[in-house]
Amino acid sequence: MKRKEGILFILLALVVLGAGCTDKEQKEENQTSQTLYISGQWSPTSIDPHLSGYMPQRLEYAETLVGVDYEGKIIPNLAKSWEVSSDGKKWTFKLREGVLFHDGTSFTAEVMKKSLERSFIQSASTFGKIPVTSIETPDNLTLVISLNSTFPALPAYLSKGESVALAPGSYDASGNVTKPIGTGPFIFESWKPEEEIVVVKNPDYWGHVASVDKVVYRVIPEELTRKMLLDSKDIQVAMILSPDIADKYTEKADYTVLEQPIARVRMIAFNTEKEPFNDKKVRQAINYAIDREAIVNSVLYGYGNTAAGLFPPQFYWANKDIAPYTYDTEKAKKLLNEAGWTDSDGDGILDKNGKPLKITLVTYPERAELPPIAEVIQQQLEKVGIKTELKVLNTDASNAQRNKGNFDMYLVGRGLLFVPDPDEIMMTDYHSNGTSGDGWGAYRWHNDTVDKLIEQARTTSDEAVRKKLYDEVQEIVVEEAPVAYLNYYVNIDVTTSNIKGYHLHPTEYSLDLQNVSIA
Amino acid sequence: MIRRIILNRLFQMIQVMVGISLITFAVISLSPGDPAEITLRATLGTESPPKEAVARLHEEMGLDDPWHVSYLKWISRVVHGDLGYSYQTKRSTLEEIIRALPTTFCLASISMLFSAIIAIPLGIAAALRQNGFVDHICRLTSIVCLSSPEYFVAIVFMLAGGIYLDIFPIAGTGGIEYFILPSLTLSVGLIAITMRIMRTSMIETLEQDYMRTARAKGLSRRKIIQRHALKNALLPVIIYMGTQFGWIFGGAVTIESVFALPGLGRLLVNSVSSMDIMVMQGCMLTFAMIVVLINLFVDLVQLYLDPSVRAQGE
C-alpha cells in the first residue's frame, strides 16, 4: 500500500511539474518570438468569411474591395479606384495590380466576381439591400457592378467583411469553404471553434508587410478571465474590458490603456404603438427626465460621452448642430401634465383616467453596463412620477419581447456603422419599412417626411446633398423622440506596454495588426 | 437472475430517457423560432429561405401535426442521429456535440480523479483520528469547500496557480495542464462531501462485529483496515462519486465559461443565450443520456461489489 501511494504521489507530482514546465516554456517562447496573443469575447460562427466576415477582416487574412479609414470614410483597398456612371447605376471598380492570394494564385476581376456573387447569396440579409442586376468583368482588372437604381452606398456595403475576396482554392467540391485563402497581410493558419484563430505573417503582401510573425486570437468570453490572462502575460492585448477593470491598469507602467470612441450608441426605443409612448410629449418628457451626465459618471466611470443625436460627433454623418436634451425634471413634469398625466391621488405616481403611469423597461445583460444603466433610469423616472418595472432578459429573449411589442421602453447598445454609410441604419431603424419589422430603432414609428428624406438620400449621388438629407432626418428623429439617445460607446482595450502600434478602429472594422510590433 | 436485474435497470433507463425526451421536445414547442426555418438556413446557407421550402419541411418534420405525431417523428430522427442544425454555426448539432464532448469528459474525469485522490485518504485519516486535530481540520475544510461558490473558487485558483505561483495556464485548451485548475475548481464541492462520506462510512465499518472479531484474532490495525474495512467502507463512497459524475457534468456549465474551455457546458450556455434551440435540445439530451448511463453503471458496480444488493434482487 505504501509503495502504491508513493507511485501515485510521484505521478501526480510529475503531472503538476510537467504542467508548470510546459506553461513556463510557452511563456518564455512568447517573450522571445514575435507572436502576438490577443483576446476578445467573440468567436466567429463559421470558418466561411462570406457568412461571418468580421473576424477575417479584423485579423486581416481576407480583404474587401474597399476599406474604411479612421474617420469612417471609404478608402481604396483591393480596388484602387472606382467611378459611377452619370445615372448612378453602373459602378466600375479598377482593381489593384499584382495582388496574389496566399496560395500564390492571382487576384483577378473574375475571381472577385465569383467571390462577390457567392457572398451576396450567403449574406443576403445584408447584401439583399443592394439593387444589383449584374456583375461583369470587361478585363482582368475591371469589375463592373450594374444596379437597377441609383445606390450611392454601394462602396460602403462592399467594405463589409462578408464581401471579402477568396481564392478558388478556398472551397471544396460542394462549394463550402474549407480553408479561407485571402489576400491580406496575414495568412489564415488554423481555427478551433470557440477557442482560437491563428494567422501568420504574409511576407509577399502587396502593402505594408506586418512586423509580428504570428497572431493568436484567443476566444475568452469572461472579461475577468481576460484580465487574469493579461496579468499573467499570457496575452498581450485584452479587448473590451469594462471601465472599472480597465481603470486598475491606468497607474501600472507595464500596461497601456487604450480608449477608442466607436460608432455605437446606447439608446432607449419607445413603443410608439401604445400608450403612453404614442404621445410625443411623453417621449420628450422621458428625454428631459434622464440625467445622461450622471449615467456616464456613475455607471461608466466617465468612459463615454452623452449623446445628442444618432451618430457620435466625430463621424462625418453626424448632425453636429442638434441641441441635446438637457436634464430638466420640471420641463419633464410639465410635458407629462400637458399629456394628461397628473398625480391626482397624491401617491407620487402620475395617473390619467385612474390609470397609474407604470411602464416596463426591457434590456439584456450581455452588454454588462446596460442593466445598471436601466436601474439608474428607473430611479430618475421615479423623480418625475413614473413607476418603472425592469425586465432583464438575454439578448434573444429581450429581442423577442421587443418584436412582439411586449415592452414600453427598450434599452439597447446599437452598432451604427458596420456598413459605414447611414443608408443601412436609416432603412432598418427609422424608415417605416424597417420600424414595422425587426429593427432595433424606433418601434412602430412612422413619419412621412423621414421616409421621403431617407428614400431620397439612398438614390442621390451627391454626398453633400445626402449629408444634408440625413442631417434633417436626425433632427426630426430627435424632435419627435421615438427614441432617447443616452451616450456613445468608448471601447477600452488594455495592452502590455511592449506592444506598439495597436490601434482600435472607430467602426470596429480593423485591429490594424499589420502595424503592430512587439518591443 | 443478475441478467434479470440488469434488464430491469435497462428498462427503467428507457423509461427515464422517454421522459427526458418529452421534456426536451417541449422545449422546441415552447421556444420561439421555427425549427424548419433554422434547418433550411443551415442547409441552404441563406438567411431567408423560400417560404415554400419552409412549408414543405414543416410537413416533413411534422411541425403542423398533433404534438404526439410530431414527437414521434422527432424522436425517430433523434434515434437516427439527426439532432438538427445550429442556426448560428450552420453545422449539425451532432457535429457540435462531438466537438465539445471530449473536453467536458476530460474535465469531469480529472475532477473525479482529484476528488478521489484528495478526499478518500483525508476521510480515512479523519475517521481513524476521530475528533482529533486531523478530523477537525477536515471538517473545517469541508465546510469551507461547500460554502464557497464555484465562481469564487475559480478566481482564487486562477490567482494562486496561474498568477502568483505561475505554474498553470489560466484559460483555454492545450495539454493536460490546461485542465488542472478547472478540474480542481470543479472537484472542490465533491471533495467536501466525499471526505465526509468516507469518514462516516469508515467509522461505521470499524464499529461492525466482524471488525471486533478481526481484532480478537490478533490482526494488526493496519491489516484490519487494509484487508477488511477499506473495501466495505469504500462502497458508499464509490456509489456517491458515481452518481456525482453526472452532477460534475452539470457543474461544467460555469467552469467552462470561466476557464474558456470549449466543452458541452459552454455549448449549452451559448445555445441558451442565443436561443439556438436544436443545439440546446441536443445538449440537454446528451447530459441526460450521460447521467442515465452513469447511474446504470453505478448500479452494476454496486451489484458486483455488494452481495446484499444481489441478494435483494434475487
For residue B264, the chain A residue with the least C-alpha distance is A194
Residue ranges of B 53-112 with Cβ closer than 8 A to chain A: 88-90, 99
For residue B88, the chain A residue with the least C-alpha distance is A45
pLDDT for residue A304: 86
Of B155, B167, B173, the CB nearest to A23: B167
Cell of A399: 429581442
- Closest-CA residue to B176 (of B231, B110, B126, B273): B110
Q: What are phi and psi of A37, to 5 degrees?
A: -105, 120
Residue with cell 477608442: A260
- Per-residue pLDDT tens for A420-465? 999 989 998 999 988 887 668 899 999 999 999 999 999 888 889 9
For residue B230, the chain A residue with the least C-alpha distance is A1
Predicted confidence (pLDDT) at residue A257 exceeds the cutoff of 50: yes
Predicted confidence (pLDDT) at residue A366 exceeds the cutoff of 60: yes
- Closest-CA residue to B93 (of B266, B222, B267): B267
- Per-residue pLDDT tens for A145-155? 999 999 999 99
Cell of B177: 495542464
- Residue type (1 letter), B52: E
pLDDT for residue B59: 74
- Check CB contact of B313 with chain A, cutoff 8 Å: no
pLDDT for residue A256: 95
- Check CB contact of A11 with chain B, cutoff 8 Å: no
pLDDT band at A13 (very low <50, low <70, confident <90, very high): low
Average pLDDT over residues A198-220: 95
Average pLDDT over chain A reads: 90
Whether residue A203 has a cis bond before it, omega within 30° of 0:
no
- Closest-CA residue to A186 (of A211, A162, A169): A211
- Per-residue pLDDT tens for A450-504? 999 999 999 888 889 999 999 999 999 999 999 999 999 998 999 999 999 998 8
Asked whether the beta carbons of A115 and A53 are under 8 A apart, the reply is no
The residue ranking higher by pLDDT, A506 or B250, is A506
- Per-residue pLDDT tens for B123-172? 999 988 888 898 999 899 889 988 888 889 999 999 999 888 888 999 88
Of A22, A123, A225, the CB nearest to B260: A225
Q: Flag if A194 and B275 touch (Cβ within 8 Å).
A: no
Q: Flag if B158 and A20 touch (Cβ within 8 Å).
A: no
pLDDT for residue B276: 76
Average pLDDT over residues A400-408: 84
Smallest CA–CA distance, residue A28 to chain B, in Å, is 12
pLDDT for residue A25: 56
pLDDT for residue A400: 72
Average pLDDT over chain B reads: 83
Of A253-262, A407-416, B171-180, B303-312, the one with minimum mean pLDDT is B303-312
- Check CB contact of B146 with chain A, cutoff 8 Å: no
Of A292-306, B173-187, B295-309, the one with minimum mean pLDDT is B295-309
Residues in CB range of A313: below 8 A, 6 or more apart: A320
Chain B partners of A231 at a C-beta cutoff of 8 Å? 163
Smallest CA–CA distance, residue A518 to chain B, in Å, is 22
Of B158, B258, B273, the CB nearest to A395: B273
Model pTM greater than 0.90? Answer: no
Predicted confidence (pLDDT) at residue B194 exceeds the cutoff of 80: yes
pLDDT band at A28 (very low <50, low <70, confident <90, very high): low
Asked whether the beta carbons of B129 and B135 are under 8 A apart, the reply is yes
pLDDT for residue A21: 46
The residue ranking higher by pLDDT, B90 or B78, is B78
pLDDT band at B48 (very low <50, low <70, confident <90, very high): low
Average pLDDT over residues B12-36: 79
Q: Flag if A23 and B275 touch (Cβ within 8 Å).
A: no
Of B89, B170, B171, the CB nearest to A46: B89
- Per-residue pLDDT tens for A59-99? 999 999 999 998 888 999 999 999 999 988 999 999 999 99
Q: Flag if A397 and B275 touch (Cβ within 8 Å).
A: yes
Cα-only R_g, chain B: 24
pLDDT for residue A24: 54
- Per-residue pLDDT tens for B56-85? 777 777 777 788 888 888 888 888 888 888
Residue ranges of B 224-243 with Cβ closer than 8 A to chain A: 226
pLDDT for residue A14: 47
pLDDT band at A359 (very low <50, low <70, confident <90, very high): very high
pLDDT band at B49 (very low <50, low <70, confident <90, very high): low
Predicted confidence (pLDDT) at residue B274 exceeds the cutoff of 90: no
pLDDT for residue B42: 62
Largest CA distance in chain A: 91
pLDDT for residue A111: 97
- Per-residue pLDDT tens for A313-357? 988 899 999 999 999 999 999 999 999 999 998 889 999 999 999
pLDDT for residue B184: 93
Average pLDDT over residues A256-277: 94
pLDDT for residue A1: 43
- Residue type (1 letter), A155: P
Of A43-47, A130-134, A396-400, the one with minimum mean pLDDT is A396-400
Cα–Cα distance for residue pair A260/B140, rounded to 1 Å: 49
Asked whether the beta carbons of B10 and B296 are under 8 A apart, the reply is yes
- Per-residue pLDDT tens for A31-54? 556 999 999 988 888 899 998 889
Q: Flag if A22 and B158 touch (Cβ within 8 Å).
A: no
Predicted confidence (pLDDT) at residue A236 exceeds the cutoff of 80: yes
**Partner residues linked to A342 by β-bridges:** A351
- State the SS3 of A99-131: CECCCCCECCHHHHHHHHHHHHHHCHHHHCCCC
Asked whether the beta carbons of A165 and A112 are under 8 A apart, the reply is yes
- Closest-CA residue to A272 (of A253, A286, A291, A292): A286
Q: What is the ipTM of this complex?
A: 0.76
pLDDT band at B15 (very low <50, low <70, confident <90, very high): confident
Q: Flag if B45 and A121 touch (Cβ within 8 Å).
A: yes
pLDDT for residue B179: 93
pLDDT for residue A20: 46
For residue B158, the chain A residue with the least C-alpha distance is A228
Asked whether the beta carbons of A419 and A126 are under 8 A apart, the reply is yes
Count how many pairs of residues, chain A against chain B, have C-beta atoms within 8 Å. Answer: 116
